[in-house]
Each structure stands twice: as C-alpha cells, then as structure tokens.
Structure 1
Amino acid sequence: MGGTMDGTKQRRRGNTRQRIQDVALELFAEQGYEKTSLREISERLEVTKAALYYHFKTKEEILVSIFEDVSQPIEDLIEWGRQQPHTLETKQEILRRYSDALAVAAPLFRFMQENQATVRELRIGEMFKNRMLGMKDILVDPDADLVDQVRCISAMFTLHAGMHVLSDIEGDPEAKREAVLEVAIDLVTQAHQATERP
C-alpha cells in the first residue's frame, strides 16, 4: 500500500511541475520572459510562492526544465542518428522525426524565436546550439562541399522557419507541415546526390 501512496504522491508532484511549466511558458509568451516574475506565475497557478519554490527556485530553472523535457526527443533522435549509416534514407528519416519533434515543441520554439536576445543569455541558448550542432553532424556528409553543407543546414532551418512563418498563412496546419518537410527533404536529397557523384 505504501508503494501506491508513493506513486500517487509522485504523480501529483509531476502534475504540479507540469502545470508550473505550462503556466510559466504561457506567461513568458504573453508578456516576455523578462517581464514575468515568479510571483505572477504562482498567482496564475493559485499557489503560494513557497509551493512554487519547492519545484523551481528561479524562472531560468523553469525554462531549462521545459527545454529539457520538450527537447529530449530531439536528443534521442541525435543519438539514434549517430548510430545509423550516413545514407540518404537515414537523413530523410531524421528530418521526418525532427519535424514531428518540432511540432510537439512548437510553443517552446515560438517562445525562443520571439525572445532570441533573452535565450542567448540563458543556459538554454547554449543547450539549443549544441543540439543544432548534433543535428548538423548527422545530416552533413563529412566530405560535402560548402554548397551541399549549406543545403543540409538549410533543410534543418527550413523546418524551424516553417513553424513560425507558415502560422500566418491560411491552410491546414498538417498540410503546411508536410510542405515544409518536403522542401527540407529536397534540400538534403540534392546535397546527398551531389556528394555521391564522381
């Protein structure tokens, strides 16, 4: 019976942590990271500041926890990609999976896009940069010429840009995401085929 109670306590604690992350990200998006205080987060949650402090001591801790949770699938993808052969099929699959991960992480990436100066100053800026370098390493062939390296890197950023820019264009969100993915895959395919030519 003690195990069940511990499990219930753990779930409740996990739910509170998730609620804090959701509300904080909502406030960061509404009024900006700099203008949001821990007090405002606790008020929106209707909890005391002490209850919030139990989970997170600073706004940056909250933001880092959101980034780590949301970007874990990207980290897993990079690890998977490093173990795969450097084939066109692998690269195309990486882009498909990356597109899926970005769709899930859209609110965080929108926040990062709109708060670039702040993000650069925080730990998540460096963490994001490292993840992008990991993606670059598995998409770019080591012997690719400069143009093909740019194509592969552009494929990755096409997926990022599509998340933001296409939100202002009318149409089915899934169809827009598929169109962006198709363009990204075309870029990687061109780069890969150019590298394979004698």
Structure 2
Amino acid sequence: MARGNTRQRIQDVALELFAEQGYDKTSLREIAERLDVTKAALYYHFKTKEDILIGLFQDLTRPMDELIAWAHAQPRTLETRRETLRRYQLALRDATPLYRFMQENQATVRELSVGLTFKERMLELTDLVQEPDFAIVDRVRCISAIFTLHAGTFHMENVEGDPEEKHEAVLEVALDLLTQAHHA
C-alpha cells in the first residue's frame, strides 16, 4: 500500500475514533488496533495523536487557505463576498467530519496548536466578508452569515428533506444576511 494511502487511512480511522469516544479517550494503540497494524507502523507516519490531528487539519483546511488567498486577490465587492460564502460552504461540506469533531471537542481543540491556526483562519474569513466601515449591526450580519453556513452544515442533517435543497436553503439565508449588510 502506498504511503499516502496508509497515512490517509490512519487519519480517517483516528477521526472516527475521536468522534466515537473523544480525542482525550483515544490512544494510539486503539488507532493501531482498529487499523490492524502495529504501533510501530503507526509511529512511522505519526508520532503523536496531535500529529494525526495536525495532518487532518492541514489536509482538510487547505481549501480554506486557498479560499482566503483567492478572496484576497479579488476586488472587495459584494459579489466577491457572496462568492466567498459559496466557496466556503463547499469547503465545509467536504470537511464535515473534521468540523464536527472540532465542534464536539472545542475545549481540546482550543488547547492544541491546530485550534489557534483555525481561529486565525476564521477571523481572516470574517474580515473578508465585511468592510471595516460597516455599522456594528452589519458586521453582525456578515459574521452571522458564516455561522449560518456552520449551523446549516451540521444541524440541517437532522431536518427532513433533500440534502441538496437544505444546502441551497442555508446558502440562501447566509447570502441574504450578507446582502442586507451591504444595502443597509
């Protein structure tokens, strides 16, 4: 098996176990057992649980980094802000297991280096969807648009209906918030 595939399998299984029993209660031994590999084989790829988590964050947040770089290169217009939200929703959907883990393990994530870098990304993203001269109520609308995408990604799965329609509805509400801020 190629190194990349083994590394990916380790990350996937670790994320499953972190989700099932919590990051703190999961050991490298348990990850190795579920993968049916030796602990030494696991150490070849990752020395610690935090290394696994850092690898997951790097793989799954790369689209977020690319989005931030893209948005910085665009004119600061309403359409750019709207497209930033559209692209962010896609990134969220692709990384749902990691974001769910973060939501359910906020205290742990805050203590890890990945928590700080994620917080920095979120602050940068919220800056990109608003203007410094916006009134406070409009800044709240812009930040709420991002968190509408978060809530929609994770909580709408418990709501009856077609998944695609739900994603479109969540995006529509987020875009409405952004547009209200622009027109206020």
TM-score category, normalised to shorter length: over 0.9
Letter in 1 for 2:85: L
Structure 1 position 172 matched with structure 2 position 172: no
Q: Secondary structure at the match of 1:142?
A: coil
Superposed displacement of residue 65, structure 1: 0.6
Within the candidate set 106, 109, 114, 1:124 is matched to 114
User: After the TM superposition, which segments of 4 or more aligned residues of structure 1 sit over 2 Å from their partners?
Assistant: none
- In the alignment, structure 1 segments of 5+ residues that lack a partner are 1-10
For 2:67, give the aligned amino acid: L
**1:86 maps onto 2:76 in alignment:** yes
CA displacement at 1:130 relative to structure 2: 0.7
Q: In the alignment, which residue of structure 1 is the partner of 2:138?
A: 148
Structure 1 residue 125 displacement after superposition: 1.1
Work out the CA distance in 2 between the residues paired with 1:181 and 1:74: 17
Normalization by structure 1: what TM-score? Answer: 0.91
Long gaps (5+) in structure 2: none
1:55 Cα deviation after fit: 0.6
Question: Structure 2 residue aligned with 1:114, among 104, 115, 119?
Answer: 104
Query: Identity of paired residues, percent?
Result: 68
Higher gyration radius (CA): 1
Alpha-carbon RMSD: 0.9
Q: TM-score, normalised by structure 2?
A: 0.98
List aligned pairs for 1:50-61, cutoff 5 A.
50-61=40-51
Tell me the amino acid that sits aligned with residue 52 of structure 1.
L
The 1-side partners of 2:132 and 2:67 are apart by 19
Tell me what 1:182 maps to. Answer: 172
Separation in 2, partners of 1:26, 1:138: 32
Q: Using the TM superposition, give the Cα deviation of residue 164 of structure 1 relative to its aligned residue in structure 2, in angstroms.
A: 1.7
Aligned length: 184
Deviations along 1:63-89, one digit per CA (max 9) or x if unpaired, are 111011001001100011011111111
Say which of 13, 16, 29 aligns to 1:23. Answer: 13
CA distance in 1, matches of 2:163, 2:121: 25
Alignment of 1:34-49 (within 5 A): 34-49=24-39
Deviations 1:75-119 (A, max 9, x none): 100011011111111111111100000000001001111111111
Matching residue's letter, 1:139: V
Partner of 1:6: none
